[in-house]
Structure 1
């Protein structure tokens, strides 16, 4: 009976983990470039032919819906590429959110984090008319006496990963797994990555599927709680009978 309670508790914990993941997906439906996460239950057989169950998180890296914004600071990264930013702790992180902003210091940011360029942070001159090229190069455009003058002021750092090399943290940003393991590996710029400006990639979260999964998880969790309560009551009754017989 104790083993049954133990297994029910383990199942309930996994359902809570899954519910947190689903809740985070639903909370980020409107976050540009957000990638849907999901949990898979993995069963491993050991040398004693016993199964060990663990939960492993995976990500749906499929492209979200693309929207033409006609805003010069919006972009989508193609060829499975990623934009590079510095998080609030100064660590290199990666995102598909191409909604660029310019802060009070003239630096390009995403979600209040500085965007990393090939030569460091990128600063935009005041009131500059800019253009972002397909290779990530950023240029200012000036018109003088009917002539167009372009000047390069920086270039976005664009990187590429294998899908299993990335892990998402609570801030919604992705990180290189090996750097999470206290390593400091610098990911090089990938010249093959291309971007397209004036377009944004939406979140790829399927709200209907996640809502159905959330309801299903809640019902399964409730069922496990009832099973634990029932076994606990049965054990209490058994103890009472044992005491009476003695």
Structure 2
């Protein structure tokens, strides 16, 4: 009886963890570049359940924005940013803004450049070429002068090597154990400007999974309740016989 309660409680806790991930997916339906998350449980040698996460890295729909600092990274490439600790992290969110210090940022994280260390003055027009080259556009009378000022760092990394943290950025699993690992810039990666990649969350599937998990949770709670009732009845019979 106690084993049934224990197993049902563990199953209910696992279901709640799945619900939390599904809720996070649904909350990020409109988040640019968001990748759908899933989880599963494996049992180790000590009969403990370990929560494993994996991600859907398929592309979301492309949105035409006509904004020069919006972009998508093609060829399975990633943009590189610095997190709050200065560590390199990766994102598919290509909505670039310029902060008060003249730095290119995505969601308040500074973009890492392969070439250049720029501080962009207010009101300067920029465009980004397919190879990640950033050009400054200036109008001089009847002429338009373009000058290269920096190049975005673009990297390619195996999906199996990526892990996401609570800040929403992806990291190289190997780098978490070896801080010296720095991925090089990949010259073959191309970007497309004036376009953004939408979240790849499938709302219908996630809603169905949420309903299914809710029913599973109710079933586990019912099993626990039945076990409690059976234990109580058994105790009553034991007291009567004594």
| TM norm structure 1 | 0.92
Q: What is the aligned-residue RMSD (CA, Å)? A: 1.9
Q: Structure 1, unaligned stretches of length 5 or more?
A: none
CA contact (8 A) 2:116 2:149 kept: no
Please report how far the alpha carbon of residue 119 of structure 1 lies from its aligned counterpart in structure 2 after TM superposition. 4.2
Q: Structure 2, unaligned stretches of length 5 or more?
A: none
Query: Which residue in 1 is equivalent to 2:81?
Result: 85
Query: Which residue in 1 is equivalent to 2:126?
Result: 130
The within-5 A match list for 1:79-158 is: 79-119=75-115, 122-158=118-154
Please report how far the alpha carbon of residue 165 of structure 1 lies from its aligned counterpart in structure 2 after TM superposition. 0.4
- Distance across 2 between alignment mates of 1:191 and 1:243: 79
Query: Which residue in 2 is equivalent to 1:18?
Result: 18
Query: SS of 1:239's equivalent?
Result: helix
Task: Give CA-to-partner distance per residue, 1:63-86, whole Å, 9 cap, x none.
Answer: 000011000010000001111111
Task: Give CA-to-partner distance per residue, 1:22-63, whole Å, 9 cap, x none.
Answer: 01101111100000001234467x7xxx98754421100000
Please report how far the alpha carbon of residue 133 of structure 1 lies from its aligned counterpart in structure 2 after TM superposition. 0.6
CA contact (8 A) 1:115 1:121 kept: no
- Distance across 2 between alignment mates of 1:206 and 1:118: 34
The within-5 A match list for 1:1-246 is: 1-42=1-42, 54-119=50-115, 122-181=118-177, 183-246=179-242
**Count, aligned residues:** 242
- Distance across 1 between alignment mates of 2:116 and 2:25: 32
- Distance across 2 between alignment mates of 1:33 and 1:56: 22
Where has structure 1 moved over 3 Å in runs of 4 or more? 41-44, 50-55, 119-122, 181-184
Please report how far the alpha carbon of residue 112 of structure 1 lies from its aligned counterpart in structure 2 after TM superposition. 0.9
